[in-house]
Structure 1
Amino acid sequence: MLKLTETHPTTTSVDVRVIGVGGAGCSSLIRLQEFGSDNLSMLGIDTGSAAQNLPVDVESITIGNGFGSGGNSETAVYQFSEVEIEVEDFVEEADVVIILAGLGRGTGSGLSPRIAELARNAGALTIAAVNMPFEFEGRFRNQSAVAAHSALKSAADAVITMNNDDLSKLDSAGSSLNGAFQLADLNIANAVRSITTELESSPERRSAVLQSLAQAGDSVVLSGVADGLHAGRTAVSAAFDSTSTEFGQVASVVINVEGGIGLSLGQVAEAVTEIRTRLGRRTEIHVSSQRLIGMGQEMKVTMLLAGVEFVPTVEELPTRVKERPAAAPQVSIFETTAPKRTRGPVLLPTG
C-alpha cells in the first residue's frame, strides 16, 4: 500500500555540507542558495574569481594567484595543498558531504576526487554531483572529464552524473549556450534538494536513504514537470525523455514529488507506477512529497537513481586483426571517433 505523507524537516536534521569546486561548482552554489537552502553549510573553492563572487553567507576559499589553473588539473591539485587543512576542518563531523563540480579540465576535475577522499576519510557519506562537458568541447576535454569521473567513482560513495549534451533536448536551453549552463546549474541544485529533502524527513526514511546511497556508485538525477489529470505519469515520462542515457539495472530510486493544491495520492501512485514500468520491480523506491500551494495544479517529480548500470549507447568500431585491450565502458561512452582524412595531400611543384 502506498501512503501519501508530506515531508517536513525534523528537529534533529542531518549535518549536510555542500562544497562547490571550480567555476561551475560555485555557480551551482549560487543557484542552490536561491532555493532558500538556509539549513546547509556551503563552501566554494576556486583557483579563479568564482569563489570571490559568492554570497557573503557562503564560505569561500580562493587558492593560487586568483587567475585560475590555466586548464591544468595538476596545477590546481598542487595549489590545493595550501588550503587542504581548511577543507578538512569544514568536512569534520559532517554526516553527508555533497561535492558540486563541472568536469573537463582544471579546478573541478583536479580537486573533486581529492576533496571526496577527505570527506570520506572524515566518516561522511560522500556524494559528488557533476556535469560532463558537451561533445563539441573537444576530445581532449571529454577524455579529461572521463578520467576525473573515474577517479571520483573510486573516492566517493555515489557520483551523480549529468551530461550537458542532454540539455539540448530541452526547449529552455535552446536559446543560448548561457541558458544551457544555467539549466545545468538548476539540475545540480535539484539533485541536492532531492537528497536533503529525504534526509530531513523521518528517522526511518533517513536511514533507508542513507543506506541506499552508501557505495551506490553511478547515479543519475532526472526531473520532469507536468499538470493535468495524469500529471504524475506525464512528469515521470518527461524526466526520462530528457536524457539520452539508457538504464539497465537500477538499485534504488529516491523520489521527491512537489505539487500545489491539486497534489493527490493518485498522482503520486501514478508516478511510482510509471517508474516501475520503466525500471522493473526489483528497484527499491523511496517516495516523499511536498505540498507547495504556489505551484497551483503543477506537479514536479525529481528522481535520484542510485546504483545505475548503464546500457552502452556507442556502437563498437569494427574489430581489427590485432586485438587491443577492451576500453572501459565509461570511456567508450564519451569518446569521439578519431578524425579522418577526407582528401589526398596536395603536391607542390618542385621547380
Structure 2
Amino acid sequence: MFEIIDQSPQEAVIKVIGVGGCGGNAVEHMIGKGLAGVEFIAANTDAQALKRSTARTQLQLGTNLTRGLGAGARPEIGRDAAMEDRDRIAESIDGADMVFITAGMGGGTGTGAAPVVAQVAKDHGILSVAVVTRPFKFEGKRQKVAQAGIDELAKIVDSLIIIPNDKLMQVLGEEVSVLDAYAAANEVLHSAVAGIAEVINYPGLVNVDFADVRTVMSEVGMAMMGSATAGGADRARQAAERAVASPLLEEVNLAGARGVLVNITASAGLKMKEYHEVMNTIKAFTAEDAMVIVGTVIDDAMEDRLRVTMVATGLGGAGAKLRAPRLEIVEQVFERTGTDGMGGSEAVDYDRKRDEAAAVAAGRCATIAAFPRGSMATLRLSDTARKA
C-alpha cells in the first residue's frame, strides 16, 4: 500500500555574504530595506566592524592570523585569513541554492577573501553571483589590486556584477553626497537580490522556479540583470526599457542574448497588451532562437505600478558597444519588492534630488546612451558555468 504525502514545494535558499568592510555595508543596506526570504552573512577580518553588523551570521576570518585587526589592505592576508576559516565559510553557506557574494575590490579582505568564498560555493555546487565595486581611476595601485581580484573572481563565479566608482559621479553628478552615492551602489545589489528572490519564491500566474534560473544562467558568455518599476499609461514600455540598462555598471554588448528570464509583477489589472509590450521591448535585444522564460506575479500592493525583472545571458563579446537611441529617464523609482518586509526606510530618489543641468554636465546622458536602456546590472558568466 502506498501512502500519498501532501508536500509543499520547497523554496530555494538564497544567501548573501558580505566580505570585508564594503561588503558588510552592502549587507547592512539590504537588511535596513527589510528584504525577506534571504539569509545574510557578514565576513570580515576586522572584529570591530563585525560587532556593528546586524547580519544573522557573522564570521571573523583569520583570527589566528590577524587577531581581529583587519588585513591591512593586503589581499594576500585576506586570502590566507579566509583559507584559515574555509570550513566555517562552507558551514555558513551550506544548504544554499544560490549565493550572492558582495565585496569592495582593491582592499585587503574583500579582494583576497571573496575568491575563496566563491571557490567554496563552487565546490559545493551552489550557483554564485559576485557583486563588487571597482575603485576610482585616480586610486592608482588600488585599481591594479582590484583588477587582479576581479580577474580571479571571474574564473570562479557563475556571474559577476561590477560597479565602477567612477560611474557614480558620471551618473549622479559631482554634487551628490558620498552617502547617497554609495547608497546608489548598494541599491544595485538590493535590486538584483530582491528581483531574483521574487522570481524564484513568489508563485504567479506564470510561475518561474529556481530550475528556470539555472537554465538561463547556464548560457555561457556575458550576461546582464536588471529590475525597474514604472507607473502610468506607458508603464509597461518604460519599465522594460529601464530594466535593460544600468548606467552605474560596466558597459557590455547587449546584442544577441541567447537566454532570457523575465518576471512581470503587477496588480490584477495587468493587461495582455502590457505583457506583449514588455516582451517585445526585451525581445529586440535577444537572438532569434533565444530561450525565453517568462513569469508573471500578481501583487495588488503594486497598485498602478508595474515591475520588470530580467536576466539575459549568452551575450556577445564586450568589444563593440551596442548604441541605442538616447534614453531620457524622467523618474527613477526604487520600489519595494514583494519580498520586502514592512521595515526599512524609503529609497532615495536620486533623479529627483539631482539638478538636471548638472547631470547633463556630468555626462549622464552620454553615459546612458552607451547602454541600450533602463536599470540593468552587468554580469559575466564563467566559461565553466554549471548546467542545470
User: Which range, TM-score by smaller chain?
Assistant: 0.7 to 0.9
Q: 1:251 aligns with which of 249, 258, 278?
A: 258
| TM-score where L is the length of structure 2 | 0.69
1:151–1:46 Cα change, 3 Å:
same
| TM-score where L is the length of structure 1 | 0.75
- State how far apart, in whole Å, the 1-side matches of 2:34 and 2:42 are: 17
| CA deviation map 1:151-182 (0-9, x unaligned) | 11211222233334444455599622221111
1:284: Cα distance to partner?
2.8
RMSD: 2.9
Match of 1:181 in 2: 182
1:276: Cα distance to partner?
1.3
Q: Work out whether 1:50 is the aligned partner of 2:49.
A: yes
Amino acid at match of 2:49: A
Amino acid at match of 1:19: I
| CA deviation map 1:282-321 (0-9, x unaligned) | 433333344444443233323233334343369xxxxxxx
User: Structure 2: any 5+ residue segments left out of the alignment?
Assistant: 1-7, 322-388
Amino acid at match of 2:29: R
1:281–1:87 Cα change, 3 Å:
same
1:80–1:164 Cα change, 3 Å:
same
Match of 2:312 in 1: 305
User: Structure 1: any 5+ residue segments left out of the alignment?
Assistant: 1-9, 315-351
Amino acid at match of 1:26: G
1:278–1:94 Cα change, 3 Å:
closer
1:122–1:168 Cα change, 3 Å:
same
Q: 1:219 aligns with which of 223, 234, 237?
A: 223
Q: Contact 1:93–1:122 at 8 Å: present in 2 too?
A: no
1:284–1:90 Cα change, 3 Å:
same
1:269–1:106 Cα change, 3 Å:
farther
Q: How does 1:95-174 map to 2 (within 5 A)?
A: 95-136=97-138, 138-168=139-169, 170-171=171-172
- State how far apart, in whole Å, the 1-side matches of 2:166 and 2:243 are: 15
- State how far apart, in whole Å, the 2-side matches of 1:257 and 1:132 are: 31
| CA deviation map 1:178-202 (0-9, x unaligned) | 2111111111111112222233256
Q: Contact 1:104–1:141 at 8 Å: present in 2 too?
A: yes
Q: Contact 2:258–2:286 at 8 Å: present in 1 too?
A: no
Q: Contact 1:44–1:54 at 8 Å: present in 2 too?
A: yes
Amino acid at match of 1:237: E
More relative contact order, 1 or 2 (CA 8 Å, 6+ apart): 2
| CA deviation map 1:98-119 (0-9, x unaligned) | 2122222321111111111111
> Which shifted more, 174-183 or 62-71?
62-71
- State how far apart, in whole Å, the 1-side matches of 2:210 and 2:32 are: 25
- State how far apart, in whole Å, the 2-side matches of 1:220 and 1:151 are: 19
1:241: Cα distance to partner?
4.8
1:258–1:201 Cα change, 3 Å:
closer
Amino acid at match of 1:184: A
Query: What secondary structure does 2:96 align onto?
Result: coil
Q: Contact 1:103–1:145 at 8 Å: present in 2 too?
A: yes
- State how far apart, in whole Å, the 2-side matches of 1:257 and 1:106 are: 40
1:112–1:208 Cα change, 3 Å:
same
Amino acid at match of 2:86: E
Q: Contact 1:129–1:191 at 8 Å: present in 2 too?
A: no
Amino acid at match of 1:231: R
> Which shifted more, 245-254 or 22-31?
245-254
- State how far apart, in whole Å, the 2-side matches of 1:125 and 1:21 are: 17
Amino acid at match of 2:234: H
- State how far apart, in whole Å, the 2-side matches of 1:172 and 1:33 are: 27
Amino acid at match of 1:67: L
Structure 1 or 2, whichever has the larger Rg, is: 1
| CA deviation map 1:194-240 (0-9, x unaligned) | 22223325687432211222474543333333222221211232344
- State how far apart, in whole Å, the 2-side matches of 1:169 and 1:273 are: 30
Q: Contact 2:261–2:312 at 8 Å: present in 1 too?
A: yes
- State how far apart, in whole Å, the 2-side matches of 1:140 and 1:187 are: 26
| CA deviation map 1:118-177 (0-9, x unaligned) | 1111122222222333334x3332332222122112112222333344444555996222
Match of 1:343 in 2: none
Q: Work out whether 1:273 is the aligned partner of 2:275.
A: no
Match of 1:199 in 2: 200
Q: 1:88 aligns with which of 87, 90, 111?
A: 90
Q: How does 1:25-40 map to 2 (within 5 A)?
A: 25-40=23-38
Match of 1:68 in 2: 70
Query: What secondary structure does 1:299 align onto?
Result: strand
1:75: Cα distance to partner?
1.2
Match of 1:59 in 2: 57
